[in-house]
Structure formats: C-alpha cells, structure tokens
Structure 1
Amino acid sequence: MTGSIEQGASRTRGSTHILHFLVRLPRPMEEVWPALSTPTGLAAWFTPADVLEARLGGAVTLRDIGTGRVTAWDVDRVAEYTLEDGGRIRFHLERDGDRGAALRFTHEFRGGRESEQRWRARFERLVAVLEQTD
C-alpha cells in the first residue's frame, strides 16, 4: 500500500482559518501513532516538539508553531494540541483496510502563516517517512 493525500479543504470562520485533510497512510495505526505523538516522530516530518507531555492536559511546545496543551489524547487514535494563540491541531487515526491507516486532520489557526500547500508538503514527508519504515 502506498500513501496518498486524498482531500484537502479550507474554510474561514470569522478570523479563524480551518484546514481539513484525509491522508491514507501505508502503515497500521499502531505504527503511525508515534509519528503524531512523540517528539522524535513529529520532528521527522513536521516540526520538533521541544516539550510534549504525552497525556491529556500535558504541556506541548511545537517549534515555530506555538506552545499550549494536549486537549485530546486517546492512545493510538487521537492527539490534539491546542495552542495559546487559539490555534488547534488534531490528528485522528482510523483503520484503513488490513494494513493501513487513515488520518483525519484538522488545523484551526489565525493569521496567514499556514496554508493547504504547506500541510500537503508536510503530509508528503510523513508518507515518505512511513514508506521507508520496515
């Protein structure tokens, strides 16, 4: 199975931009989870996590993104990071067949620093990292 970035959508609600993606990944949920929930995993494709307390309410600092709290944590399924500037990043994994995972992703933010193109490039790196893992 190869990974694919199937959907990307954006909308604006007031001053908040909301991006959604569906990304099909070439590994089972249990193998994808560390890429979304550990400092080493996040650094491999997204950004270094200078702080990541892997639990509900834990502190998180995503370099170049912001500082905040873990606001949802369901091991192997959901990691959500809410930032002090009002932004929110949510990774939600689901099974996709026998050997794959589907990532439903949401990013809410204010300002123009992020874009659908930037996230698409990040997810391409994630897929590449997971395809190299054996």
Structure 2
Amino acid sequence: MTGSIEQGTSRTHGNTHILHFLVRLPRPMEKVWPALATRDGLAAWCTPADVLEPHLGGAVTLRDLGSGRITAWDVERVAEYTVEGGGRIRFHLERDGDEGAALRFTHEFQGDVESEQGWRARFERLVELFEPAP
C-alpha cells in the first residue's frame, strides 16, 4: 500500500472557508498519530509546534498557523487545534484496511489564511514520511 492524497475540496459559507482532504497512509493509526499530535511529529511535515499541551483544553502554538487551544482530543483518533487568526484545524484518523490509516482533515477559517495548495504540499510531505523505503 502506498500513501495518497485524494482531491481536496473547498467550500465557502459567508466569510467562512472550509477545506477538506482525505489522506491515505500506509501505516496503522498508532504509527500515524504522533505525526499529528506531538511537537516533533508536526514539525516534521506541517509546521513547528512551539507549544503543545497534549490534552483537551491544552495550549497550542503552531508557528505558521497561530496560537490557541486544543478543542478536541481523542488519543490515536482526533486532534483538533483552534488557533487565533488560523481557525479550526482538525485531524481525524480512521483505520484503512489491515495496515493503513485514513486521515480526514478539515480546516475551517475566515479570510485568506491558508490555501488548498498549501495544505496539499504539507500532506505530500506527510505521505513521504510514511512511504516504505525503496
């Protein structure tokens, strides 16, 4: 199994933008979780996490995205960061077959904070982290 990024979608409701991606990774959920929910994991593909208190209500500062709180936290399944100026960033992991994980990603924000292309580039780095060695 190889990783893949399925077509991202973007919707707008008033001045709120919502990006969705489905990213399939060739590793089990417990191997993928640290990439979404630890300082080192996020820094490897997304952005440095200058602060990350891994629990519901914990503080979070994602260098390129903003500072705020963890607004959903279900270990090995859901990490949601709501950051000032950057909106709500949600990572939801599901099993994908026997050996894989499916990441359902949502970014809800106002203004022109992020783009589909920016997140696609991040997810390409994430997929590369989990690709089998040649």
User: Structure 1 length normalisation: TM-score?
Assistant: 0.95
Gaps of 5+ in 1: none
Q: Which residue of 2 aligns with 1:127?
A: 127
Is 1:93 the counterpart of 2:118? The answer is no
- Higher alpha-carbon deviation: 17-26 or 78-87: 78-87
Gaps of 5+ in 2: none
Runs of 4+ displaced beyond 4 Å: none
Superposition pairs of residues 74-89 of structure 1, within 5 angstroms: 74-85=74-85, 87-89=87-89
Shift of 1:29: 0.2
Is 1:24 the counterpart of 2:24? The answer is yes
Distance 1:106 1:17 in 2: 10
User: CA-atom RMSD, angstroms?
Assistant: 1.2
Distance 1:91 1:79 in 2: 5
Is 1:108 the counterpart of 2:69? The answer is no
Contact 1:36/1:79 (CA < 8 Å) preserved in 2? yes
Identity of paired residues, percent? 80
Is 1:4 the counterpart of 2:4? The answer is yes
Distance 1:57 1:101 in 2: 26
User: Structure 2 length normalisation: TM-score?
Assistant: 0.95
Distance 1:117 1:86 in 2: 16
Aligned residues: 133
Question: Residue 76 of structure 1 aligns to a residue in which SS?
Answer: coil
Distance 1:3 1:22 in 2: 11
